[in-house]
Structure 1
Amino acid sequence: MPEPYLLFTVVGAVFVLAGLVKGVVGLGLPTVAMGLLGLVMLPAEAAAILLLPSFVTNVWQLLAGPDISALLRRLWPMMLAVFAATLASTGLITSSYTAIVTAGLGLVLLAYAALGLLRLRMAVPGWAEPWAGPVVGAATGVMTGATGVFVIPAVPYLGGLGLGRDDLVQALGLSFTVSTIALGIGLWWNDAVPLQSVGTSAYAIVPALAGMWLGGWLRGRVEAETFRRWFFAGLALLGAHISWQGLAPAF
């Protein structure tokens, strides 16, 4: 991990950018933050710093919309699976297999970027939800526990449920909040949340919210589709670089 003064500078810049992306496109803060922090520290260290800004911004997103009781009734099996699988697999990100974890983080970022650039869409029939939700939740939990990124496969699955825009935004906020809480508990259980990381994570809330405010201001001033394409293209490059960081020692 960088020296304290450099760490705070890097964290501030990363979370302003990550918050800006979330402010413009409605998601991406944890993904961008994990990807950029993963360039200068281990994934477990990045995940510990991510916890508080991710929790605050996603709870805000979750509670900003209408009543969530209907969503909870529909999605609770998936959320339960996310929570349980994340707890069960967080030992992966804190393990000694740092090269494998780093490569996994990069590959998840690449997969998410590919889905975004290709605009692939799932269509989930109603009859499949009772079993598909828990399966997707468990897969998302394993990805979260292994890499600290909780967008695959939850985001494309929730996008395929045919939810209205406001409900989809809330559903994403719910999924990300559950993932963040479970990841935090799992990291703590594995002694991967040192006091320094708690302080840095609390500090990161401010630049994250500032970035979200800036992103909200930019949303009406930039072409959303163009921004989205550049975001996913940048994420693909970042994912490729992080994958190579993890895989290079094997060659």
Structure 2
Amino acid sequence: MNDILNSLSLGFFLTFIVAGLVKGVTGMGLPTVAMGLLGLFMPPAAAAALLVVPSFVTNVWQLFGGRALGALLRRFAGLLLGIVAGTLAGASALASIDALWSGFALGVALIVYAAWALIAPPSFVSPRTERWLSPPVGLLTGLVAGVTGVFVMPAVPYLQSLQLGRERLIQALGLSFTVSALSLAGGLLLHGVFQVGQLGLSALAILPALAGMWLGQRIRARISLRTFRLCFLLFLIGLGLELMLRPAFR
């Protein structure tokens, strides 16, 4: 891990600046972008380990930016428990399978998320459906996160379908991402991929991530969110295709 960072330190810091910028503009996307970019030059398991601290810090910041934390914890307890269980189960795959194929899975996840965001029509989940749907959505989100290190699918579209309102949605996303980040750290720790000594290396990403968020918040006030979102999603599709095609040229 140290050799990787010493040789690619510029790429490392630029990755988290770009990922933080995306989160600053859109309110999400730091782990997704960082996993995609880091996956270009290191195994996804190593990239996921580097994401633990910056992902946790930025998501906690987002989580405590609203006033509905208690209500959201009660409402989404089933979703969060599912995320924990799925992530701990899926992390064994991220820790054990060939890096090319875990990268392939990451590429698929990036493309599926970007394609859904581009073409899916708005949806609505009723309160009655939400009661039984939350736990399996959390479980599936955790499994995807455990295998790929990306925890947006299907939790993000599911939360967006609940008509929470902008502020509650942002806080609910922060809650989901925080639990996912902690669960992924626990899963990687259990399988020997993440060591406590790596916390220092992971913490190095906090400053570029926060700098990127600050820059993204300034950009958000100056450009069309719709234009930025389109460019961001096309960028994810490009990253996903590159990661998916790698095994073919092995």
Instruction: State the TM-score, normalized to the length of structure 1.
Output: 0.95
Aligned 8 A contact 1:17 1:211 in 2: yes
Q: What secondary structure sits across from 1:94 in the alignment?
A: helix
Instruction: Measure how far apart 1:90 and its partner are.
Output: 0.6
Inter-partner Cα distance in structure 1 for 2:120 and 2:7: 37
Measure the CA separation in 1 of the matches of 2:178 and 2:78: 15
Aligned-residue offset at 1:118 = 1.5
Shift of 1:4: 3.5
After superposition, what is the alpha-carbon deviation per residue over 1:198-219, rounded to whole angstroms, capped at 9, x for unaligned?
A: 2221000010000000101111
Contact 2:56–2:178 (CA<8 Å) still a contact in 1?
yes
Deviation for aligned residue 1:245: 1.3
Between stretches 117-126 and 27-36, larger displacement belongs to 117-126
Match of 1:161 in 2: 162
Q: How far apart are the structure 2 equivalents of 1:217 and 1:3?
A: 32
For 2:197 and 2:242, locate their aligned partners in 1 and report how far apart those are by CA, in whole Å.
Answer: 27
Supply the distance in 1 between the matched residues of 2:243 and 2:98 (Cα, whole angstroms).
15
Deviations 1:35-74 (CA, angstroms, capped at 9, x unpaired): 0000000000000000100000000000011131111111
Amino acid at match of 1:54: S
How many angstroms apart in 2 are the aligned matches of 1:126 and 1:242? 38
For 1:246 and 1:63, the matched residues in 2 are separated by 41
Is the 2:68–2:168 contact (alpha carbons within 8 Å) kept by the matching residues of 1? no
Answer whether contact 1:101 1:246 (CA < 8 A) is retained. no
Q: Which residue of 2 aligns with 1:227?
A: 228
What does residue 106 of structure 1 align with? 107
Distance of 1:57 and 1:45 partners within structure 2: 20
In structure 1, C-alpha distance between the alignment counterparts of 2:239 and 2:44, rounded to whole Å:
14
- Whole-angstrom distance in 1 between the partners of 2:249 and 2:155: 29
Moved more, 64-73 or 53-62: 64-73
CA–CA separation in structure 1 for the residues paired with 2:192 and 2:203: 18
Q: Match of 1:56, SS? A: helix
Q: Are residues 1:117 and 2:122 paired?
A: no
The alpha carbon displacement at 1:75 in A equals 0.5
1:24 has 2:36 as partner: no
Give the deviation of 1:100 after TM superposition. Answer: 2.3
**Number of residues of Structure 1 aligned to a counterpart in Structure 2:** 249
Match of 1:211 in 2: 212
Contact 1:100 1:247 survives alignment (8 Å): no
Matched to 1:148, the amino acid is G
> Which residue does the alignment assign to 1:39?
40
Q: Bigger shift: 231-240 or 186-195?
A: 186-195
Pair 1:187 & 2:180 matched:
no
Instruction: Give runs of ≥4 in structure 1 deviating > 3 Å.
Output: 1-4, 194-197, 246-249
Q: Is the 8 A contact 2:39 2:47 kept in 1?
A: yes
Alpha-carbon separation, structure 2, partners of 1:195 and 1:170: 28
Q: Which residue in the other structure is 2:90 paired with? A: 89
Residues 45, 197 of structure 1: 8 Å contact kept: no
Q: Structure 1 CA distance, aligned partners of 2:120 and 2:18?
A: 23
Pairwise CA distance, 1:10:
1.5
Q: Map 1:72-83 to 2 at 5 A.
A: 72-83=73-84
Letter in 2 for 1:207: P
